[in-house]
Amino acid sequence: MTRVVVAPDKFKGSLDAAGVAAALARGMRRSDVEVVELPVADGGDGTVAAALASGWRPVPVTVAGPTGTPVSTTIARRGDQAVVEMADACGLVRLDGPPAPMTASSRGLGEAVAAAIADGASQVVVGIGGSASTDGGAGMLSALGARLLDSEGALVPEGGVGLAEVASVDLDGLRLGGTTLVVACDVDNPLTGPHGAAAVYAPQKGARPGQIELLDRGLSRWADVVASVTGRDLRQVPGAGAAGGVGFAALSVLGAETRSGAELVLDLVGLDAALAGTDLVVTGEGSFDEQTLRGKAPAVVAARAARQGVPVVVVCGRTTLSETQARQAGFAGVHALQELEADLERCIAEAPALLQRAGAAAIAAWIGV
């Protein structure tokens, strides 16, 4: 019997990775095949869901959303490890109103990490994609026991706006208890400057030009203060600008390790073990394009499968890559939903049914080889 591992990422705006995998599997099971569903992610939204789908234990917690409103999120637990996700805790998807580029905080992420530590995790994997804040990770540190103070010794306001007032940071109350952090990070931006967190990513979070300048100055002041306490200035380290500067705080204050988001998630869900005895891998995401080939989940799935000699096909909503480009990148075939339904709105709305058809077509084409 043909064994197929279905390992897609989400189709953004349509279905999460688990929903994509389930729809593809339904189409494939019409044939005489064994299908293993293994939804994946790249370290952003869907990271915890991917871990849970592969058997990790859910731990529900309540944390502060990006503007302080309490939200329910989930920690994934297995053994001594935990996985937390910034997007679900305090990311853009958690805004309860318009964007808040100056006041949105990473506090909820820190509260999720603290909850994982309290639950006994000795290693916490942190997915930091999809952030809503540009606060240099100050909110996260505050939730873990740090105190950001102004020149009068008062606590500074939450969010990037408070960084302009920070004069000192007290790390004596920082609570990690020996727990180590691994941060899923796929960007190489520094904290500050023309390629930094404010200049590149704050516009996506609703910041206007004047606010971008204020945020960048605040991040510079924050980096000065942190350097004076830690003796290290990591503002220009690649990845320091990730998630509005959460990368900077994690590296410079928490001593975190950074890893590729997709690589990290594939380890968490056990892709390599699942590939044993597998005849075909089907991966995918909403848009299969040049960005995919720069380390996004389907490309990393293909690379892992190639090391074990397992062919890979991709199912996507749309593709801008030629057949030659796809094959050179290690994909044996491409099945785009827009080949089945050209209208974009209908393609998104009818994604489950179209994915089922695409799954059936993919396995039929493969078995027919």
Q: In terms of domains, do 156 and 227 share one? A: yes
For the cut 80, the answer to whether the pLDDT of residue 31 exceeds it is: no
Q: In terms of domains, do 103 and 189 share one? A: yes
Q: In terms of domains, do 216 and 83 share one? A: yes
For the cut 90, the answer to whether the pLDDT of residue 30 exceeds it is: no
Q: In terms of domains, do 53 and 185 share one? A: yes
Q: In terms of domains, do 227 and 350 share one? A: no
List pLDDT tens digits, range 144-190. 999 999 999 999 999 999 999 999 999 999 989 899 999 998 889 99
Q: In terms of domains, do 352 and 214 share one? A: no
> Which has more confidence, 30 or 2?
2
Question: What is the pTM (predicted TM-score) of this model?
Answer: 0.93
- Whole-number Cα distances in Å, 330 to 214, 299, 366: 44, 8, 16
Asked if residues 106 and 244 have their Cβ atoms less than 8 Å apart, the reply is: yes
Q: What average pLDDT does the chain have?
A: 96
**Single residue among 261, 296, 325 that ends a domain in this structure:** 261
φ, ψ of residue 19 in degrees (nearest 5): -65, -40
15: CATH: 3.40.50.10350
**Single residue among 261, 294, 324 that ends a domain in this structure:** 261
Q: What share of the chain is helix, strand, coil (3-state, %, to 5)?
A: 40, 20, 40
161: CATH: 3.90.1510.10
List pLDDT tens digits, range 338-360. 999 999 999 999 999 999 999 99
For the cut 90, the answer to whether the pLDDT of residue 142 exceeds it is: yes
Beta-bridge partners for 36: 5
The pLDDT of residue 209 is: 96
Asked if residues 275 and 304 have their Cβ atoms less than 8 Å apart, the reply is: yes
Asked if residues 97 and 120 have their Cβ atoms less than 8 Å apart, the reply is: no
> Which has more confidence, 142 or 31?
142
Mean pLDDT value across residues 244-251: 98
Q: In terms of domains, do 324 and 353 share one? A: yes
List pLDDT tens digits, range 287-296. 999 999 988 9
The pLDDT of residue 175 is: 84
Q: In terms of domains, do 319 and 189 share one? A: no
Q: In terms of domains, do 120 and 166 share one? A: yes
Structural domains of the chain, count? 2
**Single residue among 228, 261, 294 that ends a domain in this structure:** 261
Cα separation, 211 vs 111, in Å, equals 27
The pLDDT of residue 369 is: 53
Q: What percent of the chain has pLDDT over 90?
A: 93
Q: In terms of domains, do 257 and 276 share one? A: no
Q: In terms of domains, do 93 and 27 share one? A: no
Beta strands (DSSP E) in the chain are 2-6, 33-37, 57-64, 70-78, 81-85, 123-127, 147-149, 168-170, 180-184, 257-259, 280-288, 312-319, 333-336
List pLDDT tens digits, range 89-133. 999 999 999 999 999 999 999 999 999 999 999 999 999 999 999
List pLDDT tens digits, range 50-73. 999 999 999 999 999 999 999 999
Range of the domain at 321: 2-38+270-367
Q: In terms of domains, do 198 and 123 share one? A: yes
Q: Is the dihedral of CA 47, 53, 55, 60 positive or negative?
A: positive
